[in-house]
Structure 1
Amino acid sequence: MTVNDIANILEELAPLAHAEDFDNVGLLVGEPTTTVSGVLVTLDTLENVVDEAIAKKCNLIVSFHPIIFKGLKRLTGSNYVERVVLKAIRHNIAIYCMHTALDNSKMGVNAKICEVLGIQNPQILIPRKGAIKKLVTYAPLADAATVKSALFAAGAGEIGKYSNCSFNLDGLGSFKAGDDANPTIGKIGESHVEKETQINVIYSFEKENNILKALFESHPYEEVAYEVTTLENANQDLGMGMIGTLATEMEEKAFLAFVKDRMNVSVVRHSEFLGRKVRKVAVLGGSGAFAITAAKQAKADVFISADIKYHDFFQAENQLLIADIGHFETEQFTKDLLVDYLTKKIPNFAVSLSESITNPIKYL
């Protein structure tokens, strides 16, 4: 398999188009056509991780965090980022990063936290807006089924657990072909009325190029009439954080002790206890202070995240318990998620879980 083959498999889980605008995801080092000898999965790509890849004869590192985040103006080995990139290049090791593309996946970082903590029926905490589009097109009655099938095959018409969804309305379309036209139906210079079906389908924004390509290739007309609209509807299967419920409610202190045990955490920073039972839990891996308001609006009893600043804790406002368990700690099981996913997708391929410790924070 090539680097590009592995990348395509990873994009089925977390399309790169789902990453945040500020992020740097995808293939950061290496060539997509390189044949892969083995994959090493890590949370961070540091020098010791590259050394591990060399020792394990893995020439592709799949990393959660991007080693290159800002633009590099030179490669002189003057800092850890440059040293990692130089070492990877010298040893022909490719580096592929997922970061917020996986954060936004309904089967990604936050789903894994929910799994570890036994949170049931998890739903996206902050669904992505502006990510659903609607296509309206018109096809002759005899060709409507063919056009719809092509659109469905390209990914249109998927709503939650349902596929091949569309709304169709029969009517009359009219046109007059110009002198240099090549009409499929009708004659040049004559007005023509044709029985047509109006086809309405929605789709996730990253599928647009494939869907329009399918439309043009399947449609019989020389000129295809269509409209594309971005909807205000939030995509419930895409977005940051997750929220769900515990099988059994717990006391606040007991719940935090449970979190420390399950998440292998030595220290939990938290807001004031409210003396309530914990049943509804919101989580967001990594830096998640921006989601405190959403967690309150969703009536969460506890919000678990990381990198919560001093003043952010005031936002609890006696409405929920905020728990900061550490950045690395919230994301540490992400590499297990990726190893499991790749192993299932390519069971006869060498996929290794990195044993390197990349957490830069130590506790006394």
Structure 2
Amino acid sequence: MTTIRSIAAFLEEFAPLALAEDWDNVGLLVGDPEAAVTKVMTCLTITADVVAEAIAEHVDLIVSHHPLPFRPLKRLTTETMPGRLVWELAKAGIAVYSPHTAFDSAREGINRRLIDILGAQNIRPLVPHEASTGSDSDEPPGSGRCGDLKPPLPLADIVSRLKASLGFAHAKVVCPRESPIRRVAVACGAAGTFLSAAVDAECDLLVLGETNFHTCLEAEYENITLVLIGHYASERFAVEQLADVLGKAFPEVSVQASRREHDPCTWM
């Protein structure tokens, strides 16, 4: 019998929780570790649509990239969105596991998968971690990724590759450049805090999900190009791939990515 504990143990090996940022809330967040699992759903974020889908599909475990709850709950009522969602999941007996920033930084995690799309070489963490994860991998632990493009690529080619692989139609670009990109950094999600590390690493380009206006101004001052592909596009593809990983690891369990999840941001 496959249990929530056994799937959680696999996920903790795949994306060690020691890689998570100090402020994060990761691991098994809701549910009985000894409960049996026959159906798992992955998603980027637990929303009302995702909860309804999970209940309708008789899912036992949701593996959500973004944690629910994220911040500590002083009370659990249906008067707040997080409270209502947790309440509905608990009533239905659906557990929640979140790898979040541990998955961002894992050896086969989101940032590694992002930079692999660009065919970079000499890949290393953008912000190295001091703590060991206990992994036998030769790749040092750390957040974000940077690497070299050989040969260098025009910015338009890089954006085209990302669009083709991730399925988005538009990207915001800060400080576009005519010269080819030699060194690139990637950081999924809301990742403006990685700008200084990308500058220190002498990167020509930082690909990220989103950031604020003032970080864009700082990038312009530092003469480093930013490509903002959207928070959803920078991470959603990886939860679809994670469903495949879990399906292969647990063939006796039905695993699928949420079909109802969508990007809340659209272009007009």
> What is the DSSP-based 3-state SS (H/G/I as helix, E as strand, rest coil) of the residue aligned with 1:27?
strand
Per the alignment, residue 176 of structure 2 pairs with 273
1:29-68 aligned at under 5 Å gives the runs 29-68=30-69
> What is the DSSP-based 3-state SS (H/G/I as helix, E as strand, rest coil) of the residue aligned with 2:21?
coil
2-structure distance, mates of 1:76, 1:159: 44
> In the comparison of the two structures, how many residue pairs are matched?
266
2-structure distance, mates of 1:37, 1:254: 43
**2:159 aligned to which of 241, 245, 256:** 256
Per the alignment, residue 295 of structure 1 pairs with 198
**Change over 3 Å in CA distance of 1:93–1:324 after alignment to 2:** same
1-structure distance, mates of 2:260, 2:235: 15
2-structure distance, mates of 1:82, 1:268: 34
Deviation at 1:253, TM superposition (A): 3.1
Is 2:23 the partner of 1:26?
A: no
Query: 1:17-56: per-residue Cα shift (whole Å, max 9, x none)?
Result: 3211111111111111111121111111112212222222
Per the alignment, residue 215 of structure 1 pairs with none
Per the alignment, residue 95 of structure 1 pairs with 96
**Change over 3 Å in CA distance of 1:321–1:59 after alignment to 2:** same
> What is the DSSP-based 3-state SS (H/G/I as helix, E as strand, rest coil) of the residue aligned with 2:141?
strand
CA contact (8 A) 1:29 1:96 kept: yes
Per the alignment, residue 191 of structure 1 pairs with none
Tell me which protein shows more helix as a share of its residues. Answer: 2
Query: 1:90-121: per-residue Cα shift (whole Å, max 9, x none)?
Result: 11110111101112212111012123343344
1-structure distance, mates of 2:136, 2:32: 35
Is 2:77 the partner of 1:76?
A: yes
Query: 1:139-184: per-residue Cα shift (whole Å, max 9, x none)?
Result: xxxxxxxxxxxxxxxx6xx7754xxxxxxxxxxxxxxxxxxxxxxx
1:318-329 aligned at under 5 Å gives the runs 319-329=223-233
Deviation at 1:247, TM superposition (A): 5.1
| TM-score, normalised via structure 2 length | 0.91
1-structure distance, mates of 2:262, 2:81: 13
Query: 1:284-341: per-residue Cα shift (whole Å, max 9, x none)?
Result: 0011111112112222221001322122123333542111111111111121231122
**Change over 3 Å in CA distance of 1:106–1:319 after alignment to 2:** farther
1:211-290 aligned at under 5 Å gives the runs 237-246=140-149, 248-290=151-193
2-structure distance, mates of 1:35, 1:132: 32
Is 2:258 the partner of 1:354?
A: yes
**1:342 aligned to which of 246, 258, 262:** 246
Larger Rg: 1
1:139-158 aligned at under 5 Å gives the runs none
Structure 1 residues without counterparts, runs of 5 or longer: 134-154, 162-235
CA contact (8 A) 2:244 2:255 kept: no
1-structure distance, mates of 2:159, 2:55: 39
2-structure distance, mates of 1:21, 1:299: 27
Deviation at 1:71, TM superposition (A): 1.7
1-structure distance, mates of 2:108, 2:214: 31
- The amino acid of 1:250's aligned partner reads L
2-structure distance, mates of 1:42, 1:92: 18
Query: 1:42-74: per-residue Cα shift (whole Å, max 9, x none)?
Result: 111112212222222221111100121112122
> What is the DSSP-based 3-state SS (H/G/I as helix, E as strand, rest coil) of the residue aligned with 1:332?
helix
Per the alignment, residue 15 of structure 1 pairs with 16
- The amino acid of 1:51's aligned partner reads A
> What is the DSSP-based 3-state SS (H/G/I as helix, E as strand, rest coil) of the residue aligned with 1:82?
helix
CA contact (8 A) 1:313 1:322 kept: yes
2-structure distance, mates of 1:37, 1:309: 42
| TM-score, normalised via structure 1 length | 0.68
Q: Which moved more, 1:86-95 or 1:350-359?
A: 350-359
**Change over 3 Å in CA distance of 1:117–1:83 after alignment to 2:** farther
1:115-126 aligned at under 5 Å gives the runs 115-126=116-127
Structure 2 residues without counterparts, runs of 5 or longer: none
2-structure distance, mates of 1:259, 1:159: 30
Deviation at 1:250, TM superposition (A): 2.5
Tell me which protein shows more strand as a share of its residues. Answer: 1
- The amino acid of 2:56's aligned partner reads A
State percent identity of aligned pairs.
34
Deviation at 1:277, TM superposition (A): 0.5
**Change over 3 Å in CA distance of 1:81–1:132 after alignment to 2:** closer
- The amino acid of 1:299's aligned partner reads E
